[in-house]
Structure 1
């Protein structure tokens, strides 16, 4: 999927919403537990109720791997259920060297047919390059995350006063292009998104942290939007667990619609 195709979906739905499909069996509505595959049923209902408002879906691999082989089968069936036009992201945070990265890439891009995968940059270019060798696929590189521990390394400054995340952005943008590399930037960083935009003005950013983590959608758009939108804003818990009752699908739809409505206004304001 090209950036233009992603932008076409953004314009069509007036939305840059990504729904994180992170189903916790302990939190899904209890009435689903009688189903043969409760998580798959949960995912399908979430998709059915959010598909009009979302342009991307992002399953986090941990939630499926924790269920063993059956969880990976659920993931495969979830991907089959998603319409072709939506952008699919494997939130796997892989990052290794040589054949290991190449085989990770084959697993996610050929066997599972994801459009994109999140990758950790710590081991450098030879750990990222194998993922970039697949035409039409995307690497989403961790750059500036929203978790508390991100300050342990990402904000460390070199002798020129440049934080590590800025060095990651500057170096990595020479590995890929605006057509195969995006960056993870946490919504709770606020004005730091503006600094990211100076370094990677044309790349798409995947922005988690809006909703349950307290990030501001308005600030993300103000500092991060470019003329092709350039943003995929993820919401997981705020949509998935809007209700624990039988109306969870409708509750998820209500939350997704609220975000999409705000996104439509922001697109009209910042992305002419």
Structure 2
């Protein structure tokens, strides 16, 4: 999916919501466990309930890998069920030497046809470039995350008033264009969004941490939105686990709709 199509979906749905399909077999409603493919049945119901309010879905690949071959089959069926006009993110955080990254890119962009993949930048340019060789596919580079461990490396002072996370954003701009590179920036770092936008004013940002993790959607929009929105704000647990009963899909739809309605306000305010 290209940039123009993504922005068109944002405008049409008045939403920049990304729903994280972090589907844990131990957390899905018990009545689904007797079905042939509980993971897919759960995802299918969530997609049906939320597709009118979201512009992106983000399966966290670890939840599927952990189930072996059956998990990969559930992921493939889920991906095939997502409507074509909705952006898909493989939250895989890959990143290795060039030939290995090339195979990861083939797996997620050719075999499974995701629109994008999250990539770890630690090994540098030759570990990222193979993902950038595909038309209308995106790299979402880990930039500034919300976890406590982010202070171990991301905030290291490199001198001249530059932190490591700022260097990552700057280098990413050299590797890929605004039409193929996004960045992960955690919502609980909303106070730093303005600093992020000083480095990458025009790129899309994937923003996890709204909802269960306590990030402020209002602050993210205020400090991070640009003239084409430039945000994909992810909510996982707050939507897909809004209920663990037979009404789980209905409650997920209500949670997604509530976020979409709030997003519509900010889109009107800042665009």
For the criterion TM > 0.5, the same-fold answer is yes
SS of the aligned residue for 2:123 comes to coil
Aligned to 2:79: 79
Aligned to 1:46: 46
SS of the aligned residue for 1:34 comes to coil
Structure 1: unaligned runs, 5 residues or longer: none
What is the distance in 1 between the residues matched to 2:172 and 2:11? 28
Aligned to 2:216: 216
Aligned to 1:5: 5
SS of the aligned residue for 1:233 comes to strand
Alignment of 1:37-116 (within 5 A): 37-116=37-116
Aligned to 2:187: 187
CA shift digits 1:127-153 (9 cap, x unpaired): 000000111100000000011111110
What is the distance in 2 between the residues matched to 1:194 and 1:29? 40
TM-score (normalizing by structure 2): 0.99
In angstroms, what is the RMSD of aligned CA positions? Answer: 0.5
What is the distance in 2 between the residues matched to 1:192 and 1:156? 15
What is the distance in 1 between the residues matched to 2:48 and 2:268? 26
Aligned to 2:264: 264
Aligned to 1:31: 31
Count of aligned pairs: 271
CA shift digits 1:67-115 (9 cap, x unpaired): 0000000000000101100000000000001210001000000000000
What is the distance in 2 between the residues matched to 1:170 and 1:71? 36
What is the distance in 1 between the residues matched to 2:40 and 2:261? 28
Regions of 4+ moved over 6 Å: none
SS of the aligned residue for 2:76 comes to helix
What is the distance in 1 between the residues matched to 2:192 and 2:103? 34
SS of the aligned residue for 2:210 comes to coil
SS of the aligned residue for 1:174 comes to helix
* CA displacement at 1:159 relative to structure 2: 2.1
SS of the aligned residue for 1:148 comes to coil
What is the distance in 2 between the residues matched to 1:172 and 1:84? 28
* CA displacement at 1:158 relative to structure 2: 1.3
SS of the aligned residue for 2:25 comes to coil
* CA displacement at 1:178 relative to structure 2: 0.5
What is the distance in 2 between the residues matched to 1:76 and 1:39? 11
SS of the aligned residue for 2:219 comes to helix
CA shift digits 1:30-76 (9 cap, x unpaired): 01111111110000000000000000000000000000000000000
Structure 2: unaligned runs, 5 residues or longer: none
Aligned to 1:177: 177
TM-score (normalizing by structure 1): 0.99
* CA displacement at 1:192 relative to structure 2: 0.7
* CA displacement at 1:161 relative to structure 2: 2.5
